[in-house]
Amino acid sequence: MSPFCCWGLCVAFLTLLCCPGSGEEAFEVRVSPEQLMVKSGGSGVINCSTNCTHPSKGGLETSLDTIVLQKDQQWISFMIFNVSQNSSMRCYFWCSGKLGSKRLNIGVFYLPKQVLLKLQPTRVAVGSPFTIECRVPSVAPLEGLTVTLLRSNEVLHSQTFEGTALSPQEAMVTYSAEAQLEDSSHNFSCQAKMDLRFRGVKVVDSVSDSQALEVFEPVQDNWMVIIVVVSVLLLFVPSVLLCFVFGQQGNQRRRGIHKVQAAWRRLRGTHPAQPA
């Protein structure tokens, strides 16, 4: 046997004596899903698994309420309940006296339960501006949230939000337009849609109560014309009546004088003057 072979056997023998466990294959712990989003107060399923062929023990370290759904030699399926805040947990397995683990973060999302619509003002003249305001309180995360303003089925305005913060906050959208007469025959509403499919959550939407806008044609100018005409008539008619009255009185005076003069002439004609 060559000296190199003898040296190799000696190294292998010393390695087994000093590190008896080093010949075992390192094992891994896996968790699925790798990213879990749960709605506030909801529940979720977590699967813990390992490639260790004969793990002695496995479990899930968490302060949340849990139950075991299914269990096999190399995997365990858990359900967690009443998730009310963001939290962290750990899947673990013991294999040949060694502990392996994998950490998982749980994110809580808040669905758009309330969608509040406000028209300002609710009664407006044709051509005048009005504002549509939509608020979605206590929603998180903002990413994936789209707020759409509708006139019946027509989209007036749509806005998609950004932000990964998991603390609940308010989303608000405002839109201004000029009132048209046909707006009176439509209802206005607001739709909030949350799309978190990239985080394993289905699409959820919520719609506000519908509101109507009262639109009227401005009549202020016509009323001004009517007021001016009436005012002129009120001033003109009495003046005409006064002129007529005074004219009639003058005519009566003149006719009276003429009658007196005519009577006097007749009287003189019937009684001629006596000679001196």
What is the model's pLDDT at position 17?
A: 41
pTM of the model: 0.62
pLDDT on residue 215:
95
62 and 44 Cβ atoms separated by less than 8 Å: no
Q: How many whole angstroms separate alpha carbon 49 and alpha carbon 72? A: 9
User: Order of strands across the sheet with 36-39?
Assistant: 36-39, 98-109, 87-95, 57-61
- Across the chain, which has 276 residues, the per-10-residue mean pLDDT values are 42 41 69 89 94 94 94 95 91 95 92 95 95 96 94 96 88 96 95 88 91 87 63 67 64 63 65 53
- Going by the DSSP 8-state scheme, the letter that residue 108 receives in this structure is E
Task: Give the HSE-up count for residue 13: Cα atoms under 13 Å, Cβ half-sphere.
Answer: 6
The per-type count for the chain, helices as H runs and strands as E runs, is 2, 18
Q: Using an 8 Å Cβ cutoff, are 241 and 209 in contact?
A: no
Query: Residue 73: left if φ>0, alpha if ψ -120 to 50, beta else—which one?
Result: alpha
